[in-house]
Structure 1
């Protein structure tokens, strides 16, 4: 199933179609503003497990990431020090993933790693923000497997994405041709703010 969404001003009914699937524990593929990604309701543990299985991710070794609507929502699901809050407030929304400790309100699968850290994102995409606002919960997210395809069209063109992954998910959102941009990953352990992957985001 594919649903067309535009960069701005999407009808509320179309957003509701996406949210209904997420609330039912469904898995979607959607444009994040950098790459296309798998996504699900982050509080639906079986949906999170399903994405991990699709992407062959071991949550015990791979930090899981969530996308939140705003700083208030981030503080609900992650433990943010004063210093981290200031840095995140300056740089979000933006093309960043901040690695910080998650809270127990998240499903148990997010605590599979002994450190208990999760990735936190807040993209600039209006499509994502509309979905998050209507969902009133974070999205668990992981990018499509870019290294598995020689032709980048298979992970940037919605039609080819649907052809390749459509049978594994409940909905593919057509948000136009995507790109291969990566977020900048910032490890906030002990408020050192180490950049462990330099992507498109320039830390301020």
Structure 2
């Protein structure tokens, strides 16, 4: 039987110059197909060799496909940020084989945290701990202050056999960031990776499709009680059980986002209407209402007739600027109202891990299935049509407001937020 190594495919890839220069050409990219339940040792050794040479690898994890580099190799680190088009001021997490190496590399203080780390590792968790030893690791160097290093670091021990065996064999920190362009679709399949990064990496380890995930839950262990900075695959309730209740969520607002096509007509109106409604409730300071569009157009003001209808109804939309929906907006939203069916289809296809957040405004909490669940786009119509659009959106939001408040109330209770 062929092994994954014998099925190696070599592709063209950009150069691995010293220092890395985007756009240069060099050695061929390596591709391996593996069985995630029984990864070939030869592939693990080859991946480690690529890392040692300063290359980038794409590898499977328990949440998505990751982009790996030797955290100690400055050239590899620079290449990683360049390939991802990521702001170098934004840190990336690090994959480690075990808690002992975490202790030796960064220090663990207080020592009692080691027991808490054992409770969540391996698993879909990123643990933020103090970088007490302040070793000169390029991935942790501050972009604004060269020669100084981040005081905190995010570490991961994924619940994935390939990750565990690779990190144990390499025995040094490996970057653990998504193998995509920053802000773009999360990679759950090698096709997603190639579609975004092309052949800018040096090696791809293909373990087949990964089930859509909300990502790792990020816990700040430097705070007392521990702080859940991002709720991923593991919920606050699940983590409270693992950590004996010694964790709370960041006091973040409940975010509602309205989505239409260009973000200049329907979604700004809905945003303004709901903001006005919520201003009369005790939850006005807990809920943030935003809007976005599915079309990748340059930022622009709301349509003139949208502004006029807003003025008529005491809603000021003159300062509104349109924006294109992206992964960050989706991840930060708790509930996303779509104005039409095509917006819902777009979001469900592009962000499958968050599909439970996406609802059609007209259909949500409606007892019967609607024949026409979309709100028509008023663009190109007259003021009367815009007035009717406003009336429709206002009526739907008035209908669902009790359900929205119920969700917000539950959100506050789960997080111990007093309102």
| Contact in 2 for aligned 1:2/1:162 (Cα 8 Å) | no
* Matched residue, 2:134: 104
**Gaps (5+ residues) in structure 1?**
none
Q: Is the 8 A contact 2:73 2:138 kept in 1?
A: no
Cα deviation per residue 1:58-87 (whole Å; 9 max; x = unaligned)? 343x23211000110111222322232221
Higher relative contact order (CA 8 A, sep 6+): 1
What is the CA deviation profile of residues 116-169 of structure 1, one whole-angstrom value per residue up to 9, with x for unaligned ones? 2111000010011111121121211211348424xx7xx222244235424110
Give the deviation of 1:111 after TM superposition. Answer: 3.2
Taking the aligned partners of 2:191 and 2:140, their CA distance within structure 1 comes to 32
If the length of structure 2 is used for normalisation, what is the TM-score? Answer: 0.45
**1:65 aligned residue (93, 98, 106):** 93
1:138 aligns with 2:170: no
CA distance in structure 1 between the aligned counterparts of 2:76 and 2:219, rounded to whole angstroms = 26
RMSD: 2.1
Matched, 1:122 2:157: yes
Change beyond 3 A, Cα 1:106–1:124: farther
Aligned to 1:94: 123
Question: Whole-Å Cα distance in 2 between the matches of residues 63 and 159 of structure 1?
Answer: 26
Matched, 1:187 2:251: no
In structure 2, do the counterparts of structure 1 residues 84 and 57 end up closer, same or farther at CA, with 3 Å as the change threshold? farther
**What runs of 5+ residues in structure 2 fail to find an aligned partner?**
1-29, 144-148, 243-419
1:56 aligns with 2:85: yes
SS of the counterpart of 1:168? coil
Instruction: Report what 2:103 is aligned to.
Output: 75
* Contact 1:5–1:127 (CA under 8 A) maintained in structure 2: no
TM-score with structure 1 setting the length: 0.88
Post-superposition CA distance 1:153-195 (Å, at most 9, x none):
xx22224423542411001110110233210000122443100
Distance (Å, rounded) in 1 between the aligned partners of 2:138 and 2:39: 34
| Contact preservation (8 Å) 1:26, 1:170 | yes
Q: Distance in 1 between matches of 2:44 and 2:86?
A: 28
Residues 1:175 and 1:110: Cα distance change in structure 2 (over 3 Å): same
Contact 2:179–2:193 (CA<8 Å) still a contact in 1?
Answer: no
